Amino acid sequence: MSFLDSIDPRCDALIVVDVQPDFMPGGPLPAQGGDEVVAPISRLLDADRFRHVVATQDWHPPDHVSFASSHPGRAPFETVELYGAEQVLWPDHCVQGTGGAQLHPGVPWEKAGLILRKATDPRVDSYSGFRENVAPDGGRPSTGLAGYLRDIGVESIYVCGVARDYCVKWTAEDGVAAGFRVHVLWPLTRPVDGAADEAVRRDLTRAGVTIVDEMDTL
C-alpha cells in the first residue's frame, strides 16, 4: 500500500514548505536540486488525496535581520548571536514583491486552502510554519498555523518542500510539539547542505517525526 492509500482526507493535511524560485538552482539561496521537487509535488496536489493543503511562503522585507547585507562586514552563511540564539546570515532572498519570492508557477496553488507568509517581521527570522525563530523578547511567536489546523479537524500532517535541513525540519519538529502526528515526505524535500542529511534524519526521528522514504506512485 502506498502512503497515498493511507491518507484520511478528513484529518490529514499536506504542508508544502517554501517552494519558491529563490530556493531553486540559479536563485540566491538554492537548495540542492530544489527544482526536482516541483513536478512531483504538483502531481501530489493534482491527485486530490489531501482535502487540507497549506503552503508556506518566505516573505522578507528588504532589510531583514537574517540577511548578511543587514550586518556590515559580515558575509552570507556566517553565524552570529541574535537574541541569545544562533542566527545564520543568508544572502538576500525571497524579498517581498520580487519574482523570486513568488510561489513556484509549476505547482497548482489553487489546491491550497491557506498560504501562510512568514519572516515578515524585519527583526525575526522564521523557518518553521508554526512558530517564528527567537524574537527580541526571547520567545518564539506563533504563526497561528496550529490553531488553524485544529479548527479544521487536522490531526496528522505531511510535510514536503525546501529546505529539508531548515524550514522543513523546523516545521516538522514544531508540528510534533504542537501535538500533531507528523510525516516528512523525504523524496519531496531537498537540502541546502546535503552533508547534513544524516543528522537531519536523526533529529527528526528523535523528535517523533515519521520519515516517508518510498513514494513510487509519484
* Catalytic residue selected from 94, 111, 118, 169: 118
Is 118 among the catalytic positions?
A: yes
Determine which one of 12, 18, 58, 174 is catalytic: 18
Rounded Cα–Cα distance for residues 178 and 131 (Å)? 10
d(CA 215, CA 108): 20
Q: How far apart are CA 34 and CA 22, in angstroms?
A: 10
CB distance 184 to 14 below 8 Å: no
Active site includes 18?
A: yes
For 16, the enclosing helix (H) or strand (E) is strand 12-17
Specify whether 169 is catalytic: no
C-alpha cell at 39: 513536478
Q: Which three cell numbers stand for residue 121?
A: 517581521
Strand partners, 184: 159, 211
Where on the phi/psi map is residue 194: left (φ > 0), alpha (ψ -120 to 50), or beta?
Answer: alpha
Catalytic option among 12, 92, 125, 167 = 167
Catalytic residues: 18, 118, 167
